[in-house]
């Protein structure tokens, strides 16, 4: 569910930048600054593309009833689709992510894609080998149709008239994107947190279209605690007077509410240890308490900054819709049990957990593994030792790259794309 871009941290508090991210950031910015343009290991300059499905028969039938039509999907691709179309990998994003998974939008773009550390030439998801597809989920606010898009019925933004969407709906929209791109069967689907849920949904509802699945830091059903945190976030947004029942697009957006929602969410992406290490009880720019409610502690100013900067790039209604999709995610609901849900799965799995992730602790990943094993699916489980909490999947490049790369390479040998 993680915080889209761990690299986009506040400039005023450089000490909070996590070391792994800091290293990458500095190196790549350095290369660009030196005028090298496409930095080594980077997917290079990329651009977000859009495809609109507005033809008869292209309506998106929604799990909650009704249809979405027309709709647009924003996407990016890196690398080249092979002639035999056997090297396509879909990378699915988390709550706050978007289609921009790798590379930069311009030579002086300081913020690379949200999984740039993993995607590029020679990286874990090697763009010299694979054709990588990133796309913004429907309901999103980064180019795909969502609550801020125009409602064709009224000519005004949907707001809360936008239908409730689910993880399955997101995946079905991605399937149409693959049709558009001429990809019949994915070599792999890879994603963390909400992205991991999409990966699981792919394996379950389109078993014939995906060969390898790599879900990271996720669950087969949204855990109670995560629903609880999401509800706090939603209530914060709805309590903001600027929210106005979700129809705020002609006025001020509910920035305060969204910012609080993001602050709560952000805490769940870190860990006690990581917070202790990054901030401790350090005060910010002062020697002693101010004895006021101003943000004395570094952790306070960090969270405020995270909350505020999030409001510049994210739509509050999308936050409501996507957290709802997360909460509704439960593979056992439609199938009775997880074992039953996985019955028709043909994909091979590599399931990754992160030791200090308390939003999706390793036991939730092991639950997926056990259910897959119960029906003799090919599944491997790997637990990354990390103290970064849930966000580890956006940070621990060195600990993930090898095993994911190895899994993709060995799995590619057993892949026969459909015709």
Binding mask 62-101 for other proteins (x = CB under 8 A): ----------------------------------------
Distance of alpha carbon 217 from alpha carbon 390, whole angstroms? 7
With H, G, I as helix, E, B as strand and everything else as coil, classify residue 14: helix
Q: How far is the CB of 333 from other proteins (least distance, A)?
A: 23
Stretch that binds other proteins, among 50-58, 177-185, 289-297, 407-415 (CB under 8 A): 407-415
- R_g of the chain computed on alpha carbons: 21
For 249, other C-beta atoms within 10 Å of its C-beta total 16
Beta bridge partners of 134: 76, 91
Q: Work out the angle between the directed axes of helices 167-181 and 194-205 (0-180°, nearest 10).
A: 70
Catalytic residue among 142, 144, 193, 205: 193
Indicate whether 350 belongs to the interface with other proteins (CB under 8 A): yes
193 catalytic residue (yes or no): yes
The residue (of 72 and 380) whose beta carbon lies closer to other proteins is: 380
| Close Cβ partners of 74 (under 8 Å, ≥ 6 residues apart) | 48, 49, 50, 98, 99, 135, 136, 140, 142, 143, 144
**Closest distance of CB 22 from other proteins, Å:** 24
Q: Binding marks (x or -) toward other proteins, 358..397, rule CB under 8 A?
A: --------x--xx--xx-x-xxxxxx-x------------
Question: Closer to other proteins at the Cβ: 325 or 404?
Answer: 404
Nearer to other proteins, 277 or 385 (CB): 385
Q: Look at residues 147, 205, 149 and name the one whose alpha carbon lies nearest to residue 173.
A: 205
CA–CA separation, 357 vs 391, rounded Å?
A: 8
Encoding tokens for residue 411? 């799995």
- Binding-site member from 30, 37, 122, 402 for other proteins (CB under 8 A): 402
Site string for other proteins, 293-332 (x = CB under 8 A): ----------------------------------------
**Residue among 394, 411, 347, 419 at smallest CA distance from 18:** 394
Q: Quick one: 297 or 381, whose CB is closer to other proteins? A: 381
Bridge partners of residue 352, in order along the sequence:
216, 382
Catalytic residue among 42, 357, 386, 391: 357
Question: Does 390 participate in catalysis according to the annotation?
Answer: yes
The two tokens of residue 163 are 């239908």
Helical (H) or strand (E) element with 285: none
Query: Minimal CA–CA distance to 406: which of 366, 364, 353, 348?
Result: 348
Q: Is-catalytic flag, 50? A: no
Q: How far is the CB of 351 from other proteins (least distance, A)?
A: 10
**6 and 398 in contact (C-beta within 8 Å)?**
no
Considering only residues 52, 106, 225, 414, which one is a binding residue for other proteins as defined by CB under 8 A? Answer: 414
Complex with other proteins: residue 22 or 366, whichever CB lies closer: 366
Contacting positions for other proteins (CB under 8 A) = 350, 366, 369-370, 373-374, 376, 378-383, 385, 399, 402-403, 406-407, 409-411, 413-414
Q: Which residues are catalytic?
A: 193, 357, 390
């Amino acid at each position: 569910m993680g915080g889209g871009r761990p690299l986009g941290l506040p400039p005023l508090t450089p000490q909070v930048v996590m070391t792994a991210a800091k290293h990458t950031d500095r190196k790549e910015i350095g290369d660009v600054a030196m005028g090298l343009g496409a930095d080594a290991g980077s997917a290079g300059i990329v651009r977000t593309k859009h495809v609109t499905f507005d033809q008869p028969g292209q309506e998106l039938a929604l799990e909650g009833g009704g249809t979405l039509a027309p709709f647009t999907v924003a996407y990016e691709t890196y690398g080249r689709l092979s002639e035999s179309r056997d090297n396509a990998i879909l990378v699915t994003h988390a709550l706050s992510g978007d289609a921009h998974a790798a590379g930069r939008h311009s030579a002086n773009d300081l913020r690379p894609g949200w999984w740039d550390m993993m995607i590029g030439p020679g990286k874990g998801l090697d763009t010299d080998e694979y054709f990588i597809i990133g796309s913004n989920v429907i309901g999103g606010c980064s180019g795909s149709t969502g609550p801020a898009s125009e409602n064709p019925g009224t000519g005004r933004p949907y707001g809360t008239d936008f239908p409730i969407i689910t993880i399955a709906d997101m995946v079905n929209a991605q399937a149409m994107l693959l049709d558009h791109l001429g990809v019949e069967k994915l070599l792999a689907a890879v994603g963390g947190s909400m992205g991991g849920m999409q990966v699981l949904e792919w394996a379950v509802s389109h078993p014939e279209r995906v060969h390898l699945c790599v879900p990271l830091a996720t669950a087969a059903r949204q855990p109670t605690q995560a629903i609880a945190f999401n509800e706090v976030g939603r209530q914060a947004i709805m309590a903001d007077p600027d929210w106005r029942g979700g129809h705020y697009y002609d006025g001020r957006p509910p920035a305060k509410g969204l910012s609080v929602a993001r602050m709560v969410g952000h805490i769940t992406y870190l860990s006690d240890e990581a917070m202790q290490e990054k901030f401790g009880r350090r005060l910010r720019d002062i020697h002693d308490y101010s004895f006021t409610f101003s943000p004395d502690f570094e952790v306070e100013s960090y969270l405020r900054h995270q909350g505020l900067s999030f409001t510049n790039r994210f739509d509050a209604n999308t936050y409501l819709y996507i957290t709802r999709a997360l909460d509704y995610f439960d593979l056992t609901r439609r199938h009775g049990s997880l074992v039953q849900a996985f019955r028709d799965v043909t994909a091979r799995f590599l399931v990754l957990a992160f030791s200090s992730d308390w939003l999706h602790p390793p036991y939730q990943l092991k639950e997926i593994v056990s259910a897959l094993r119960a029906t003799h699916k090919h599944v491997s489980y790997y637990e990354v030792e990390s103290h970064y909490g849930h966000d580890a999947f956006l940070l621990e490049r060195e600990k993930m790259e090898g095993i994911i790369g190895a899994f993709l390479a060995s799995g590619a040998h057993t892949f026969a794309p459909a015709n």
